[in-house]
Amino acid sequence: MTAEAGLPEYQLVGIPGDGVGPDVVTAAKRVLAAVGARFGFGIAWQEIEVGGAGIDAYGMPIRPEDLAACAASDAVLLGAVGGPKWDDPAAAVRPSRRCSPCAAGWACSPTSAR
């Protein structure tokens, strides 16, 4: 529940990622805030760095604690991962290799529940 009049609050993880991802996530967050205001719910955001941004920050595209945060959330908003900077097919670490929900071991059906 949110502090605002006992409205339900959802825990979401935002992953801006790379390229246009940060712009997409910023716009989507504004839309979700408007939807929440209209339909009476709040969103608590946790933002993580994944993909090329994760490689640059941590040396890996997604950390175990990031996967755990995503698994514990109600939903994940993913912008985009990868870009020309990380496109070397011979690279040992690439953004999209481990950032796919299927590669991370998550259920890959739009109807699957956690």
**Helix/strand/coil for 29:** helix
Structure token pair of residue 22: 């940060």
Helix (H, G, I), strand (E, B) or coil at 59: coil
Integer Cα distance of 43 and 22 in angstroms: 18
Question: Could you read off the pLDDT tens digit of each residue along the chain, which spans 114 residues?
Answer: 555 668 899 999 999 999 999 999 999 999 999 999 999 999 999 999 999 999 999 999 989 999 999 999 999 999 988 888 888 888 878 776 555 554 555 554 444 444
Q: State residue 113's pLDDT score.
A: 43
* pLDDT at 27 (0 to 100): 98
φ, ψ of residue 8 in degrees (nearest 5): -65, 145
